[in-house]
A and B are shown apart, each in its own frame.
Chain A
């Protein structure tokens, strides 16, 4: 940094303050309202790309989340392909008979309940997401008439968080039940995979829970409704993906063994 900051630079730095999404304090809706003392024109295409619309920052974060989900999907696909191979693998015993040690792990029935809880949590997360984008309320909140959107989203997200925690607790119960039946990680190739898949998914869900908490804090703390929208939107997309992924993994564990 040069030691002396010249006046034009101060001005410039002010203009691109961190919390500025580049939209020049326009309402974070898709409607191109224009005017608003910006002077020049309604033509948002004159602006450099990346700062073009009010939702530009949102769509950036969304894209980042989607590419991240590519990686998560490949992670689980790798485990699932190992699952197929190990399920079929065995060895030849002393009588040259092919022995496969794979004993399907009985899936605790509480997982059905957990799955239902996770689906519900996804639904409530979606409610939170939608409530962040209802146009009239967003305008109200942007003008400063109310914080209805954020309040509503906070309620829904809290519900999601509770349901998510319930799901994780349910998973814990499932592991407990299996342990009571003396089925541990080490017991069998099939139980390796049961634990690996459920634990890996739970870790990803923990990240989701962290994101939910961060979003809840963000909803309270953040001054910009656009930022609040981003917190909620990114978290909810991630949460949906984990829900979908769980449906796939659960189906695999329940019917694929």
Chain B
């Protein structure tokens, strides 16, 4: 009984992680759409600049998140 609830808890935790990753995934998708139809705020910003910002955001956020995950994974080796 106890183990069952433990398993359930673990699987729910996994779902929580997956869910948050999914949310992030949606976020990443809307980055990917680019700004072809977006006329308003960025009308005066050329696509090349928008792409450069996008790249920079990916680079900064990606490296930061990757290092954070690497840091937490690294410590798993240290019992």
Contact = CB atoms under 8 A, between A and B. Distances in A.
A88 B55 CA distance: 11
Given A77-B60, A80-B59, A70 B52 contact: no
B67 A73 contact: yes
Given A82-B56, A84-B52, A92 B44 contact: yes
Interface residues on B, range: 10 to 19
Nearest to A98: B46
Nearest to A69: B67
B56 to A, nearest CB: 4
Nearest to A81: B56
Contact of B49 (A66, A77, A88): A88
Nearest to B52: A88
Contacts of A143: none
B64 interface: yes
Given A70-B67, A70-B71, A74-B64, A89 B59 contact: no
Interface string B33-64: 00000000000101011011101110110011
Interface in A45-98: 66-67, 70, 73-74, 77-78, 80-82, 84-85, 87-90, 92, 98
Contacts of B55: 81, 84
Given A88-B48, A89-B49, A92-B44, A73 B56 contact: no
A89 B60 CA distance: 18
A66 B49 CA distance: 34
Nearest to A78: B60
B63 A74 contact: yes
Given A73-B67, A74-B64, A88 B59 contact: no
Nearest to B46: A98
Given A88-B49, A98-B46, 4 more contacts: A77-B60, A84-B52, A84-B56, A87-B52
8 contacts: A74-B67, A81-B55, A81-B56, A81-B57, A81-B59, A84-B55, A88-B48, A88-B52
